Structure 1
Amino acid sequence: MSMMISITCDGCDLTEDTSTSFEAGTNEIEAQLDEGWVHTSHSDYCPDCVKNGLAD
């Protein structure tokens, strides 16, 4: 069984959707996202915002 995950960039509001299993941990979920996303304890940033220096 799987679930949909949506992650929204805190810099530009871009949202990316992916699916993963209910048993997946944080590392498995992050591996499903496009390379370049940055996650901190309180924010998420897409590759473009990371490139533009908006990530913490």
Structure 2
Amino acid sequence: MMTKRRAINPMDFDVVHMRNVHYLKLDRLNETAPLSPKRRFVRVPKKRAATDQ
């Protein structure tokens, strides 16, 4: 996918409002996505002592 910024009304001389325009690469829909193993670490909070509350 490719994204470009375009003016909402290109006929105006004062371009203030812009929008994102997304273009899909349809020929790439048949490709499989590469899988890369990622490690995710979940931090578990330490238990508080009864006196800390």
TM-score (norm 2): 0.22
Q: Choose between structure 1 and 2: higher strand proportion.
A: 1
Q: Choose between structure 1 and 2: higher helix proportion.
A: 1
TM-score (norm 1): 0.22
